[in-house]
Amino acid sequence: MDKPFAITLDPGSSLANRTGSWRTFRPEYLDRLPPCNAACPAGENIQGWLFHAESGDYEKAWQSLVENNPLPAIMGRVCYHPCEGGCNRQHVDSAVGINSVERFLGDEARKQGWKFAPPAASTGKRVLVVGSGPAGLSAAYHLTRLGHQAVIYEAAPLAGGMMRFGIPKYRLPREVLDAEIKRLTDFGVELHLQTKVADVLQAMKDGFDAVFLGVGAHIAKRAYIPAGDANKVLDAVAVLRGMEGHDAPMLGRKVVVYGGGNTAIDVARTARRLGAEEAIIVYRRTRDKMPAHDFEVEEALQEGISIKWLSTIKEAGESDIMVEKMALDDKGFPQPTGEFERIEADSVVLALGQDADLSLLENVPGLVVEGGLIQVDAGMMTGHPGVFAGGDMAGSERTVTVAVGHGKKAARAIDAWLRGEVYAPPPKPEIATIERMNSWYYSDAPKTMRPVLDIIRRQSTFEEVLGGLDESNALFEARRCMSCGNCFECDNCYGVCPDNAVIKLGPGKRFRFNYDYCKGCGICAAECPCGAIRMVAEEN
Amino acid sequence: MSFQPVKFYQTGTFTVGNRLLPPEERSVQASAKRFNSINSGHRACQGCGEALGARYAIDAAMEATDGQVIAANATGCLEVFSTPYPETSWQIPWIHSLFGNTAAVATGIAAALKVKGLSQNPKTRVVAQGGDGGTTDIGFGCLSGMFERNDDVLYICYDNGGYMNTGVQRSSATPPAARTATTMAVGPEPGNVFGQGKFVPAIAMAHNIPYVATATVADLRDLEAKVRRAMEFRGARYIHILVPCPLGWGTPSQDTIKMARLAKETGIFPVFEAEHGEIKSVLAIRRPLPVEDYLRPQKRYAHLFGKTPALATIAHIQELADRNIRKYGLQARKEGH
Ligand SMILES: Cc1cc2nc3c(=O)[nH]c(=O)nc-3n(C[C@H](O)[C@H](O)[C@H](O)COP(=O)(O)OP(=O)(O)OC[C@H]3O[C@@H](n4cnc5c(N)ncnc54)[C@H](O)[C@@H]3O)c2cc1C
Ligand SMILES: Cc1ncc(C[n+]2csc(CCOP(=O)(O)OP(=O)(O)O)c2C)c(N)n1
Ligand code: SF4
Ligand code: SF4
Ligand code: SF4
Ligand SMILES: [Mg+2]
């Protein structure tokens, strides 16, 4: 014993003292579901692809995006981005411009010629896809990824469905559409144009093991309007389809559009670009009841389109129409008032919605049709085994993104069905709500606005209205993402632990708790910005 | 602001690290190789702000001196929870002093370094550390002497607003109205009295020493920058760090950082730095809040929020915060990007 005065023990380290035994709650890392992902009808992992975009790795971001949706450049233009409606950043300043970053990635992919990762090994199965709208394209893409041969039969001379024959060029330039379709055919999707399927079961005899139907809804709904011979009453779908032909439709100087959906808006804006001096939308309910989105209405108003709310068309004369004013009753329904007004009009375009043409299914036993929609199960399968359906023909929420989501879900279910199994989607983790996060840590950063085409050119040309972000803007916008529910390696937990009980595993590897010393104070969980840590009661 | 904030990088410089920043721009605490000057296994309470503040500060000092720090430590929680004989959590040369003389002990170490010629290795620096009791009360004479002689010591005070180690008694840094074991929530004016206050950072400034700063465990980047800055000076330096105490304040253990943040955001605790007696920068309030948001979650102020809330007392505390905001210019500014 050779110790200094009054010292009887060797110095020891406090590491011998396992303070983890004090714990009554333990922290655990977890991934929560970001609300953007939860809101995306195509099931994109938005937080996941933004994570790569944040570090400037746009190709990886794009690759991650197309795992769920093969059409980013299209989505970045026409998707109504419900993801942004769910985005937690709106509780901090304003939602992340997810859609504009998506468009940037889609356009970058076109510029750089990025290709999809190679598909799985061939299964030898062939699946027929009827229709090349977003539902069909998405189903064909996901089937191909899974190793099946997807063959699309499309009645029209060009692919794209309503993305080509509905959505106008000023919102979706056709070279964007063409490029994303070409990437799909390069990937191995077989596309047969001008091949209308009249009888599905007959068509399946071409050696197909299953079929996905995505025929959309193209038959315009009519309303009875007494009309003189001379007056032109047209339907919106036909007018918009006509825009893809050689001769633009003749609508005249004064055009009245009847309806309140996005089709009505698009027809009115198209009429304006075709030279109509006046384009008036007549709609029987109020603005807040309009199915068209607010920003679309806004853009239309900016372009000089006028809207008559609470009005119905009673009759169409030679050069004018008769409109009756409506008033809301106590239940909020429009009722006729008996007050009439005449409006000059060279043509009337009806945009009252579309029904699906289900004639190709006439001989298929077991199908259930309700309210004009084909009924499907959770895996998009109709009442007839092996016949799957999605998109406008199968859903009342009719958007490109919903159609893409249906196509994906159906492809996975078809894949399982071909193996004699039933597709079970992986369980969804709990949502990373803003209450589960600590928004203090996010620095203030207002949303980046996309450039908008000037108003004169918007009234006379079909140039794209909404511009894209450049690289630095897109990077900024991506970095506004708060990575809700998913660790983004901010080192907070590692830094704030008073007991050094968090182990840093290195870039990309996240962290681990050292339960020998963690006292369970919960500071790490409270200070994790994105809510990727939860406290769980210890068993005993 | 004591450091250049990164304008916009997702979480800017608010978080400890940030994978988007080059490693050299991240905090000391973000590094997998940080010193952990005070090691795991210490016996501080769950969620102790003092244990955290000490690691933040001493790790930063170690970083600034290439690991050449000697510390003297006054009696108090920090000393007791880190060094129950024969065990220690300290991974640096560390000397225990008495409750009231740590400034003098540190002065002695600095003098010894000089005499022994060890200051030929100019990186070896001396840090003295103590609680608010050891600093503002019993150790105050030694501290003022250390300032006045401009001894080459960085003194760090960990202010948790009371004598926590001996069971939460009042110190001269205990805020007005707070309940402690010696200022019970009874009588016509429950809790600690509204005295004149004793804000040692201001007293330190009055000594015109090279460097004085305040900091909290809620602003790591600021705290680290201040320790780094302090190490750029020779002579007496003083950093006063607000370290919430879950036990003494009656707050949930997970809210330690949140409480420090609220103290800063309400103006209760001004965060600034001064050189040679002049204020050089302040940490502006980011999201202004009434003092009530800071007081209400703490059990030591529970008597203010009973059946009939003590509105006059709360208003009085608000006045003190408002005075800080005016005096130090803490008003919220627009965050740029
Ligand atoms: C004017 C207008 C604007 C719109 N704007 C938007 C928008 O901005 N954003 C948005 O998300 N959604 C928009 N929509 C809705 C969106 O276009 C549709 O919801 C979507 O295209 C539906 O996709 P789908 O694949 O189900 O059908 P469709 O896109 O309609 O495609 C169906 C395809 O099947 C083909 N087909 C049909 N029958 C047969 C057959 N028997 N044999 C072979 N092929 C057949 C058709 O030719 C067509 O190509 C808009 C719709 C319209 C009309
Ligand atoms: C001269 C003397 N008086 C009293 C004590 C008992 N004592 C030990 S620590 C302490 C209070 C410490 O308070 P503070 O300095 O604020 O540190 P904290 O524990 O709050 O961190 C007291 C009174 C002592 N050690 N020496
Ligand atoms: S902040 Fe990011 S992860 Fe969170 S909801 Fe918005 S886009 Fe999604
Ligand atoms: S901060 Fe540390 S001690 Fe507290 S719960 Fe988290 S890991 Fe455990
Ligand atoms: S605090 Fe930061 S590093 Fe820790 S889990 Fe949360 S996001 Fe990841
Ligand atoms: Mg104290």
Q: Could you tell me what percent of chain B has a pLDDT over 70?
A: 96
All residues of chain A having their beta carbon less than 8 Å from the beta carbon of residue B256 are 498, 521, 523
Q: Is residue B13 part of a domain?
A: no
Q: Is residue B286 part of a domain?
A: yes
Q: Do residues B238 and B155 make contact, with C-beta atoms less than 8 angstroms apart?
A: yes
Model confidence at A426: pLDDT above 80: yes
Closest CA to B125 of B72, B74, B73, B68: B68
Mutual angle of helices A294-302 and A262-273, in 10-degree steps: 20
Q: Total structural domains in chain A?
A: 4
Do A100 and A130 lie in one domain? The reply is no
Q: Judge residue B80's burial from the number of C-beta atoms within 10 Å of its C-beta, 0-12 exposed, 13-18 middle, 19 or more buried.
A: middle
Looking up residue A520, the CATH number of its domain turns out to be: 3.30.70.20
Number of the ligand 5 atom closest to the C-alpha atom of A494: 4
Domain final residue pick, A303, A326, A353: A353
Give Dmax (Cα) for chain B.
65
Q: Is residue B157 part of a domain?
A: yes
| ω into B175 cis (within 30 of 0) | no
User: Is A93 touching B (CB cutoff 8 A)?
Assistant: no
Residue B101: other Cβ atoms inside 10 A? 22
Q: What is the ipTM of this complex?
A: 0.96
Sequence-ordered alpha helix ranges (H) in A225-381: 236-242, 262-273, 294-302
Mean pLDDT of B59-79: 97
Residue A501: other Cβ atoms inside 10 A? 25
Q: Do residues B103 and B137 make contact, with C-beta atoms less than 8 angstroms apart?
A: no
Q: Whose CA is nearest to atom 8 of ligand 4?
A: A518
Q: Is residue A296 part of a domain?
A: yes
Looking up residue B100, the CATH number of its domain turns out to be: 3.40.50.970
Domain final residue pick, A303, A322, A353: A353
Q: Is residue B201 part of a domain?
A: yes
Q: Is residue A8 part of a domain?
A: no
Do A58 and A159 lie in one domain? The reply is no
Closest Cα of chain B to A488: distance in Å? 7
Residue A459: other Cβ atoms inside 10 A? 16
The rounded radius of gyration (Å) of the Cα atoms in chain A is: 28
Domain extent for B289: 35-328
Whether A487 is in the pocket of ligand 3, judged by its Cβ within 6 Å, is: no
Do A226 and A211 lie in one domain? The reply is no
Residue B154: other Cβ atoms inside 10 A? 25
In angstroms, the CA B48 to CA B252 distance is: 11
In angstroms, the CA A258 to CA A242 distance is: 18
Whether B75 is in the pocket of ligand 2, judged by its Cβ within 6 Å, is: yes
Looking up residue A349, the CATH number of its domain turns out to be: 3.50.50.60
SS3 A210: strand
Q: Do residues A521 and B46 make contact, with C-beta atoms less than 8 angstroms apart?
A: yes
Q: Is residue B259 part of a domain?
A: yes
Do A211 and A227 lie in one domain? The reply is no
Do A239 and A331 lie in one domain? The reply is yes
Do A181 and A243 lie in one domain? The reply is no
Mean pLDDT of A366-378: 94
Q: Do residues B124 and B73 make contact, with C-beta atoms less than 8 angstroms apart?
A: no
Model confidence at A461: pLDDT above 80: yes
Q: Is residue B217 part of a domain?
A: yes
Q: Could you tell me what percent of chain A has a pLDDT over 90?
A: 83
Do A371 and A382 lie in one domain? The reply is yes
Q: Total structural domains in chain B?
A: 1
Q: Across the interface, do A521 and B49 touch by the CB < 8 Å criterion?
A: no
User: Is A65 touching B (CB cutoff 8 A)?
Assistant: no
| ω into B86 cis (within 30 of 0) | yes
DSSP state of A451: P
Do A311 and A368 lie in one domain? The reply is no
Q: Do residues A109 and A73 make contact, with C-beta atoms less than 8 angstroms apart?
A: yes
Q: Judge residue A305's burial from the number of C-beta atoms within 10 Å of its C-beta, 0-12 exposed, 13-18 middle, 19 or more buried.
A: buried
Structure tokens given for A154: 């499309």
Of the candidates A446, A482, A488, which has its C-beta nearest B19's C-beta?
Answer: A488
Do A70 and A181 lie in one domain? The reply is no
Residue-wise pLDDT tens digits, B97-123:
999 999 999 999 999 998 887 656 667
Q: Is residue A438 part of a domain?
A: no
The rounded radius of gyration (Å) of the Cα atoms in chain B is: 19
Model confidence at B71: pLDDT above 90: yes
Mean pLDDT of B149-167: 98
Judged by average pLDDT, the poorest of A60-74, A412-426, A454-468 is A454-468
Mean pLDDT of chain B: 95
Parallel, antiparallel or unpaired: strands A278-282 and A306-308: parallel
β-sheet bridge partners, residue A278 = A254
Do A393 and A493 lie in one domain? The reply is no
In angstroms, the CA A99 to CA A74 distance is: 10
Quick one: which ligand is closest to B254's CA?
4
Do A96 and A205 lie in one domain? The reply is no
pLDDT at B144: 98
DSSP per-residue codes, B14-39: TSS--TTS-GGGS-GGG-TT---SB-
Q: Is residue B124 part of a domain?
A: yes
Domain final residue pick, A300, A318, A353: A353
User: Among residues 29-58 of chain B, which lie with CB inside 8 Å of chain A?
Assistant: 29-30, 32, 36, 39-44, 46-49, 51-52, 55
User: Phi and psi (nearest 5°) for A472?
Assistant: -70, -35
Give the C-alpha distances (Å, rounded to integers) separating B126 from A233, A294, B335. Answer: 91, 65, 37
Q: Is residue B334 part of a domain?
A: no
Domain extent for A209: 126-218+356-418
Do A199 and A290 lie in one domain? The reply is no
pLDDT at A161: 97
